[in-house]
Amino acid sequence: MTRHYGEVAFTPLVAEHQAIHGSAAAYARMIEGESVPDRIGRGEATFITSRDSFFLATVSETRWPYIQHRGGPAGFLKVIDETTLGFADFRGNRQYITRGNLDHEDRVSLFLIDYQLQARMKIFGRARVVEPDDDPELVASLAPVGHPARVERGILIDVEAFDWNCKQHIPQLVPLQAARHTVAELTERISELEAQLAIARGGVATAEP
């Protein structure tokens, strides 16, 4: 965990509970050092761009948090540079809760998870909405090639801090496509073995009187 993540997440009330439950000293050591916004490294970039979904949290002007699932082809959440992420905002149910919340508050939180690898990454950032009329080239650049969903706008996120969680309590799930691929390979192998077995049995039968 980075120092900057701790500064963002560990509010006075959070620190109070850490002290009550005995984890304050350990976290105090983890956040020692210079406080600067975190930068996306090679490992983080690989993880981020391999995701086909993530969760995005915003806060309304009535102070209610809202979490929305965002999905698309792997790589639709793009790493623009070491401090910036971006994605195309696809048309959905047209409730526009996230869009409205961003007019009130630009602070967001992203939650990325890989169930197969049991890995998860949390990101704090500030979101900027880019409408097509404002910068059509940028919005077009965020759209995944060949994806049929209609793009309404682009969203850029200036990364403040991120943290990796341990895999404890993450259920290990396999994507449907990966499961289908494995089943197809096993089915093909079973067919090959059955054919070999049939040939072997036929040879034995021929040799018998």
Q: Which residues pair with 103 in a beta bridge?
A: none
| Secondary structure element (H or E) that encloses residue 144, with its range | none
| Secondary structure element (H or E) that encloses residue 79, with its range | strand 78-81
Going by pLDDT thresholds of 50, 70 and 90, the confidence category of residue 203 is low
Question: Which pLDDT does position 197 carry in this prediction?
Answer: 92
Would you say the C-alpha torsion 136, 151, 101, 115 has a positive or negative sign? negative
User: Is residue 205 scored above 90 in pLDDT?
Assistant: no
Question: Can you tell me the mean pLDDT for 184-203?
Answer: 91
Give the separation between CA 161 and CA 14, rounded to whole angstroms: 17
CA dihedral 51, 55, 56, 59 (to 10 degrees): -170
Query: What does the block give as tokens for 115?
Result: 């169930």
CA dihedral 69, 75, 81, 82 (to 10 degrees): 70
Q: Has this prediction a pTM greater than 0.75?
A: yes
User: Is residue 200 scored above 70 in pLDDT?
Assistant: yes
Short-list 69, 73, 47, CA closest to 58: 69
User: Is residue 40 scored above 80 in pLDDT?
Assistant: yes
Question: Which pLDDT does position 171 carry in this prediction?
Answer: 92
Question: pLDDT tens digits, residue range 17-35?
Answer: 999 999 998 888 777 766 7
Lowest mean pLDDT among 30-44, 69-83, 114-128: 30-44
User: Is residue 174 scored above 70 in pLDDT?
Assistant: yes
Contact 160, 37 (CB under 8 A): yes
User: Is residue 79 scored above 80 in pLDDT?
Assistant: yes
Question: pLDDT tens digits, residue range 58-77?
Answer: 999 999 999 999 999 999 99
What share of the chain in percent tops pLDDT 70? 96
DSSP state of 131: -
User: Is residue 209 scored above 60 in pLDDT?
Assistant: no
Question: Which pLDDT does position 204 carry in this prediction?
Answer: 52
